[in-house]
Chains A and B, each alone.
Chain A
Amino acid sequence: EPEVTQTPSHQVTQMGQEVILRCVPISNHLYFYWYRQILGQKVEFLVSFYNNEISEKSEIFDDQFSVERPDGSNFTLKIRSTKLEDSAMYFCASEGTGWTGELFFGEGSRLTVL
């Protein structure tokens, strides 16, 4: 069964460092998302991406964040200069050829900022 894969599963970084989280969505999907979950809190929407551009972003997704689909298969989230409060589980998700609300999530990348 096709699945969304994310790497790394866990990354520890120093405050101020750049981090890139990688995702390989399901191959024929067109909509891509990043969500995050700070420990003990809600799963929060960060950004949606369609047709090689951002469709919508939340207020969390400030200038320190960027997304890219560099090669038609990977979908990356970059945090330019990490802060302590960026520590969270980051989930990538993809959706098929038309909006259905059925997002397929990866297992998540846990980011720890020290």
Chain B
Amino acid sequence: AQSVTQLGSHVSVSEGALVLLRCNYSSSVPPYLFWYVQYPNQGLQLLLKYTSAATLVKGINGFEAEFKKSETSFHLTKPSAHMSDAAEYFCAVTDSGGSNYKLTFGKGTLLTVNP
């Protein structure tokens, strides 16, 4: 069974500061990992994904994440926060084989960006 833990339900940063959203996963098989973002009153949108290629993955809007197998982590970072980054961010995992039709999501981290 897979699971995802997002540390911190709410993260607040100043505009221009580093964004770090934490995600740890548990999976019995090599995972595929994802970050989705949900802006207010919108559906979830894929930010980036790891599917066993490069461990450092770059996504949209300047975000990136690094897959660290030894730490079972897939933290999301952005060097400099922008006001438009304020949203809820979800980490998700699925199996690399077998049951890959479903994503298992974390509880989400709400990012607020202060001027």
A99 with B101, Cβ < 8 A, contacts A41-B107, A91-B44 known: yes
Least distance between A101 CB and chain B CB atoms (Å): 5
Are B103 and A105 closer than 8 Å at their CB atoms? no
Q: How far is the CA of A98 from the CA of B49 in the complex (A)?
A: 15
Are A45 and B103 closer than 8 Å at their CB atoms? yes
**Most chain A beta-carbon neighbours within 10 Å: one of B32, B41, B46, B103:** B103
Are B43 and A107 closer than 8 Å at their CB atoms? yes
Are B43 and A105 closer than 8 Å at their CB atoms? yes
Choose from A44, A50, A107 the contact partner of B41 (Cβ within 8 Å): A107
Are A103 and B103 closer than 8 Å at their CB atoms? yes
Are A102 and B46 closer than 8 Å at their CB atoms? yes
When distances are taken between beta carbons in the complex, the residues of chain B under 8 Å from A103 are: 44, 46, 103
The interface size of chain A toward B, counting residues with CB under 8 Å, comes to 26
Least distance between B1 CB and chain A CB atoms (Å): 12
Choose from A43, A44, A101, A104 the contact partner of B108 (Cβ within 8 Å): A43
Are A108 and B43 closer than 8 Å at their CB atoms? yes
Docked complex: B42-66 residues within 8 A CB-CB of A: 42-46, 49, 51
Please give me the residue from chain A that is nearest to B42 by CB atom: A107
The answer to whether the Cβ of A97 comes within 8 Å of any Cβ in the partner chain is no
When distances are taken between beta carbons in the complex, the residues of chain A under 8 Å from B101 are: 31, 33, 48, 50, 55-56, 99
The answer to whether the Cβ of B84 comes within 8 Å of any Cβ in the partner chain is no
Please give me the residue from chain A that is nearest to B90 by CB atom: A43
When distances are taken between beta carbons in the complex, the residues of chain A under 8 Å from B108 are: 42-43
Are B106 and A42 closer than 8 Å at their CB atoms? yes
List residues of B whose CB falls within 8 A of some A CB. Answer: 32, 34, 36, 41-46, 49, 51, 90, 92, 94, 99-108
A48-B101, A101-B46 are known; give 7 further A-B pairs, CB within 8 A. A55-B101, A101-B32, A101-B51, A103-B44, A105-B43, A107-B41, A108-B43
A-B contact pairs, 23 of them (CB 8 A): A33-B101, A33-B102, A35-B105, A42-B105, A42-B106, A42-B108, A43-B90, A45-B102, A48-B101, A55-B101, A56-B99, A56-B101, A93-B43, A93-B44, A99-B101, A100-B49, A101-B49, A101-B51, A101-B100, A103-B44, A105-B43, A105-B45, A108-B43
